[in-house]
Chain A
Amino acid sequence: MTLETFSGTFGLWMGAALTLCIFSFLYKDNPFYRFAEHLFVGVSAGYWLVYNYWNIVKPNLIDPLREEQWQYLLPLVLGIFMLTRLFPNVGWLSRWAIAFMIGSGSGIMIITYLQSNFLEQIKSTLVPLDPTGQPWYVVVNNVILLVGVVSGLVYFFFSKAHTGVTGRIARIGVVFLMVSFGASFGYTVMARISLLIGRLYFLLHKCVGVI
C-alpha cells in the first residue's frame, strides 16, 4: 500500500468513525461525542489560523508592504489597534479601528441597501391589480403581496397602540409573519435533512459500499 492510498483510506475511515461519534449524541452525551467535538474545535481553530494567515494577512498586508506600497501601513496600524483590546490600559485604541470599520462599512452598505432592498423592493410591490389582461391568480397573488407588505409594516409601527383598525391590520400582519416563519422553518428542516442525507450517503456509499 502506498502512502497516498494509506492516507486516503485512513482519512475515509477517520471520517466515518467521527461521523458515528457525533451521531452517538442523539442517544445521549458520551465520551465518544466529546472526543469528536473537542477534536473538531481544536482542528478547526488551527486550520483557520493557518488559512487566515496565508489567504488574508499575507496577500493583503505583508505582500503589499514588501512591494513598498506604504499606504498599507494604515491598515497595519489599525490592525495593531484592534489587538490592544488584550491590554486594558490601552484597550480604548481598538475603538478607533472599530470606528473605521463601522464608518466605512456603513458608507458602502447604506447606499447599496437603499437601492437594492428599499427602492427595488418598493418597485416590486407596485403591482397591477387590474384583472383585465392578466390571469385571476396573478391578481390574487398581487393582492396577497400588497396586504402582506402593508400589514407587516403596520405591525412594526410603534407610534400608535394596536387598537381599532390599526390593531386589526397588525393582526393580519402577524399572520403573514407567522406564515413566513413557518416557511422558513420548513426550509431549515429541509436543509438539515439534506445534511443528514449527505452524511448517510458518505457512510453507505464510500464506507459500506451498499449504494
Chain B
Amino acid sequence: MSFAGARLLHISLCVLAGSLVLCGQALCQSAPPDTPPSPATDLVVKDTPDDDGGSVTLSWSLSADDKGGAKDVLSYEIRRSKSPDGPFTTIKKVLKGTSSTTDEKKVENNVDYYYQVVTKDASSETPSAVAGPVRAHVQWFNLGRLNTLLITILYTALLLYFISRAKKGEKLFVRRIAGLDALDEAVGCAPEMGKPALYVPGISTISDVATIASVNILSGVARTVADYDTRLIVPNFDPIVMTVAQEVVREGYMAAGKPEAYREEDVFYVTSSQFPFVAAVDGIMVRERPATNLFIGMFFAESLILAETGASTGAIQIAGTDAIAQLPFFIAACDYTLIGEELYAASAYLSRAPLLLGSLKGQDWMKMFLIGCIFIGLVTLNVGFAGFKSLFDLPLTIFR
C-alpha cells in the first residue's frame, strides 16, 4: 500500500473510531487539543526606560509550541498582580509570535508588580513562572534624545556666536546672490519703458520669516526705484504688512533723496482673502501694465495665477519664496527666482542686519557640519565600520 493510501486509511480510522488517541502526532501532524502548550520562558520585566512612568516592559522567549513543536499556540495573555502569590488579573492579550510588550494599563509609579505570561491554545493554557517585583519610575532625562540635544546645543551655539560677531560690527562675508543682479536689472527696466514696477510682498503675516525677508528686499528695491524716478505699486494682503511696507518704501525714497516722489496711495491694502487678492493684483497687472513684477515672500496656490498673468502682459518677472510647492511655478513663469534660502540670504545681504547675517552664517556652518557628517559616515560605513551610522540610530532606537 502506498503512503497516501495508508494515510487515508489512518484518517478514516480516526474519524470512525472518534478517538484522538489514534491520531498519533507522527501521522496526523497535530497535537491533541487537550495537551497544554509549552510555557513561555525567560520572562523579564523592567521599568520602561526614558519615559514619564506608568509603563512596564515585558519580554520572554516564545513557547516551544509557537512556530515550532505543535505550532498550536494562538496567543499570550499578560497577567499582573501586586503579590507574587496572586491573584493575577489579565491585562492584555498579544498574538502568537510576539515576544515583548509593554503594560501601560493604570500602572502606578513606585508600586511593586508581579507578572505572568500565559500561553494559550484553542482549549488550554500554561502560565509562565512569575517575574518581579518591578516598579515603574519617572525618568527625568530621556537618554534616547541625547543626540538631538547635542545637535540643538551645537546649532544654537553657532547661531548665537555668529549673531554676536555680527552685532560687534564684524564684517561677515556673504556672497552676492545672483538673483539680486537680476533684480536690479529688472527694476532698471521700468524707467526705460516709462512704466511702473509692481512689488507683491506675499500673502502672509509680518511674523512670517519670508515676509520679513521680503520687506528687507523691498527696502532696497524702493531705493533703486526712487533713484530712477519710477512709480512703485505695492498691493498688500495683510494690513500690518501694509503699514510696514509704507514705512519701508517711504524710507527708500528718503534715502534716495526724493521724499516728495513717494506716493502713499501706491502702497495699499487690498483684501485678506486669497483669491479676491489675486483677482485684484491680476487687474492691476492688466490695467497698469507694469514693466517689472516682483513676487517676493510667502505664496500659496495663487502663485501660478499671478505669475502667468504677469507673463502674459510681457513684464519682466522676478520671484522669491521659500514655499517649496510654489517654486516650480515661479521658475516656469518668471525670468528669475530666488529659491528657498536664497530669499533670506538676499535679505541679509541687502539689510546687513546682525540677526539675519549671524543666522545665515550659523546655518552655513551647520551645513558644513552636515556635509562632514555625511562624508565621515560614508567612509566609516564603506570600510565596514557601521558605528557612525548607529550614532544617528541612537536617539531613535533607544527611544522606541
- A residues apposed to B, CB below 8 Å: 37, 41, 98, 102, 110-111, 114-115, 118-120, 122-123, 125-130, 146, 149-150, 153-154, 156-162, 177-178, 181-182, 184-185, 188
Given contacts A123-B393, A126-B378, A150-B371, contact A181 B174 (CB under 8 A): no
In-complex Cβ contact of B396 among A119, A153, A159, A185 (8 A): A119
Given contacts A153-B367, A153-B370, contact A184 B325 (CB under 8 A): yes
Complex contact B392–A119 (CB within 8 A):
yes
Interface bits B369-399 vs A (CB < 8 Å: 1, else 0): 0110110011001100000110011011000
The SS class assigned to the A binding surface is helix
Q: Is B275 engaged at the interface, CB distance under 8 Å to the other chain?
A: yes
Q: Number of contact residues on B: which range applies?
A: 35 or more
Chain A residue numbers with a CB within 8 Å of B178 are: 162
Q: How far is the CB of B28 from chain A (nearest CB, A)?
A: 44
Q: Is B120 engaged at the interface, CB distance under 8 Å to the other chain?
A: no
Top 6 A-B residue pairs of the complex, sorted by shortest distance between their CB atoms: A185-B328, A123-B392, A126-B377, A181-B328, A159-B364, A161-B175
A207 to B273, CA, bound (A): 32
Chain B residue numbers with a CB within 8 Å of A162 are: 175, 178
Complex contact B342–A159 (CB within 8 A):
no
Chain B residue numbers with a CB within 8 Å of A126 are: 374, 377-378, 381, 388-389, 392
In-complex Cβ contact of A122 among B276, B325, B364, B374 (8 A): B374
A85 to B381, CA, bound (A): 55
Complex contact A120–B360 (CB within 8 A):
no
Residue among A149, A157, A160, A177 with the highest chain B CB neighbour number at 10 A = A157
Complex contact B175–A159 (CB within 8 A):
yes
Smallest Cβ-Cβ distance to B155: which chain A residue: A114
In-complex Cβ contact of A98 among B207, B365, B367, B393 (8 A): B207
Q: Name the segment of B94-102, B146-154, B187-195, B311-319 touching the other chain.
A: B146-154
Chain B residue numbers with a CB within 8 Å of A130 are: 382
Chain B residue numbers with a CB within 8 Å of A98 are: 207
A159 to B339, CA, bound (A): 17
Complex contact B331–A181 (CB within 8 A):
yes
Complex contact A115–B395 (CB within 8 A):
yes
Complex contact A159–B151 (CB within 8 A):
no
Complex contact A128–B339 (CB within 8 A):
no
Q: Is B327 engaged at the interface, CB distance under 8 Å to the other chain?
A: yes
Smallest Cβ-Cβ distance to A192: which chain B residue: B304
A126 to B173, CA, bound (A): 31
Q: Is B341 engaged at the interface, CB distance under 8 Å to the other chain?
A: yes
A72 to B382, CA, bound (A): 55
